[in-house]
Structure 1
Amino acid sequence: MSGSTGFLEPILGGVLPWLYVESAFWTGIGLIGNGLFGSRFFIQWLHSERSKQLVVPPLFWHLSFWGSILQLLYGLHIDKLPIILGYVFLPIIYARNLHFLRHSKAKAANVGAGA
């Protein structure tokens, strides 16, 4: 990155120099992450409208997870603490929700197979 050095670049720059190279690639990562993360609300709204009740589809959690991963990577690239702190714990939470989702589907399949 040109100009000022962030707080992580002195620590990680030697190990991950590619993380701090300014390029269109990083702009793309930021845009894709923002698009995925933002689209989850639109998807949730469409599913709820279709069902005429509040619905949180599995796709919501997948978009949340992958969008937060890409946003965290972009935050690390721009090396700004507020962005990093805003996204650092989200992938863990969304991964846990995906874990619960996977296990609830497996449990439902086992119950259905035994009936």
Structure 2
Amino acid sequence: MGRETLWLVVGFAGQLAFTGRFALQWLYSEYKKRSIIPVGFWYLSIVGSALLLAYAIYRQDPVFILGQSFGFVVYLRNLQLIARNKDKEQGE
């Protein structure tokens, strides 16, 4: 596999994970009959964002790099908040 093909695979994998999070959220909400964002949404967000950020860095696209960098921080923070709340719930 050539270098360009590898980076296309990384880019498409990131896009697939990023898109998959919306499908997960939609299906989970339909299952629960109310709008819910499951934890898996944030994990798919991190994976998709990291892969797309790597792809953007390789492509040297400053707009894409900035957008994915900001999103990555937000997704990571959401996972930290979820973990912190779980720890508090288990400690009670």
TM-score in terms of structure 2 length? 0.92
> In structure 1, the residue corresponding to 2:83 is in which secondary structure?
helix
Amino acid corresponding to residue 90 of structure 2 in structure 1: A
Amino acid corresponding to residue 100 of structure 1 in structure 2: L
The alpha-carbon deviation at position 80 of structure 1 amounts to 1.4
Pair 1:55 & 2:4 matched = no
Higher helix share: 2
Q: Which residue of 2 aligns with 1:85?
A: 66
Unaligned residue ranges in structure 2 (runs of 5+): none
Q: Which residue of 1 aligns with 2:23?
A: 42
What whole-Å deviation, never above 9, does each CA across 1:55-96 have from its counterpart, x for those lacking one?
100000000111101101000111112211221211111111
Larger Rg: 1
The alpha-carbon deviation at position 110 of structure 1 amounts to 1.7
The alpha-carbon deviation at position 23 of structure 1 amounts to 2.4
Distance of 2:3 and 2:44 partners within structure 1:
26
Q: Which residue of 2 aligns with 1:69?
A: 50
Unaligned residue ranges in structure 1 (runs of 5+): 1-20
Q: Among all aligned residue pairs of Structure 1 and Structure 2, give the percentage whose two residues are the same amino acid.
A: 35
Q: Which residue of 2 aligns with 1:102?
A: 83
Runs of 4+ more than 6 Å apart: none
What whole-Å deviation, never above 9, does each CA across 1:12-70 have from its counterpart, x for those lacking one?
xxxxxxxxx94221111101100001110100001100110111000000001111011
Distance of 1:47 and 1:110 partners within structure 2:
28
The alignment yields a C-alpha RMSD, in angstroms, of 1.3
Distance of 2:75 and 2:69 partners within structure 1:
11
